[in-house]
Amino acid sequence: MAPTLSVFSALGFGLIAYLFGSLTPSIWVTRLIRGVDVRDSGSGHATTTNTIRQAGFGPGVVVFILDIAKGFIPTYLALSFAPVWSVPFVAGLAIMGHCWPVFAGFRGGMGLATAAGGLLAVNPIGALLGLGILVTLLLVIHHGARASVFTAILLAPFLWLVGLKDLIFWVALVEGVVIGLRFLIDWNRKYRELWLDREKTAT
C-alpha cells in the first residue's frame, strides 16, 4: 500500500472506530426499558453496571456485549484491512468514542469493556491477562476506579515482561493512556460502580 493511501486508510478506520465507539447502547437500552437516562443516577456514567442498577441484569449483559463489540469490530477490521501500525490507534479511538461520544453530548462511559474488545480482536490472551490484573487489584484495593486505572497503566509493561512484545503490547499501551486519562478525571470522586467500592460503615 502506498504511503499516502496508507495514511488515508488509517484515518478512515480511525474515524469509523470513534463513531462506532460513540454508539451508546446503555443509554438506549435504559431509556427503552425504564424511560430514563442511565447517566442521571448511580455513577453518572453510561456503563454496564449503571445499566444493571437501573434496568436489570439481562439488559446489562446486552449492553456489556455491545460495548465489547464496539472495541472488537473496528479493531478487527483495521487488523484485516488497514496498515498494522494504525491498529493501536484505532483501538484507542474506539475507547475515546465510548468515553466521549459525539452522539451523546460527549458524556459516555469509562471504556473498560470497549478496551477489552480491542484486546480480544488482537490477542485474547492479552485480554485475559488484563482481566486477571483487574480482578486481583479489585480484591486488594477495593476501589473500582483506581483498580481500573492501575490495570490500564500496568497491562502494557506486564505484557512486555511475559514476552508479548508484538502488536498486543502497543494496543494495550495506547488503550492504557486513554483509559488512564478517563479514570484520572474521576480520581477523587466517591465511586460506586462496583460492590467493592462501598465505603465501610463507621463503628
CA 179, 38, 17, 62 dihedral sign is positive
d(CA 34, CA 156) in angstroms, rounded, equals 39
d(CA 168, CA 130) in angstroms, rounded, equals 11
Write down the pLDDT at residue 157.
96
Let me know: does 108 contact 59? Beta carbons within 8 Å. no
Let me know: does 120 contact 153? Beta carbons within 8 Å. no
d(CA 8, CA 92) in angstroms, rounded, equals 17
Write down the pLDDT at residue 1.
59
Q: Is the pLDDT of residue 199 over 50?
A: no
Of 55, 53, 64, give the one whose Cα is nearest residue 25: 64
The model's pLDDT over 12-61, given as tens digits with 9 standing for 90+, comes to 999 999 999 999 999 999 999 999 999 887 778 898 888 998 899 999 99
Pull the grid cell for residue 167. 502488536
Write down the pLDDT at residue 189.
60
Let me know: does 122 contact 45? Beta carbons within 8 Å. no
> Rounded to 10 degrees, what is the CA torsion of 18, 110, 132, 80?
-10
Pull the grid cell for residue 32. 427503552
Q: Is the pLDDT of residue 202 over 60?
A: no
Cβ neighbours, 10 Å, residue 132: 13
pLDDT band at 194 (very low <50, low <70, confident <90, very high): very low
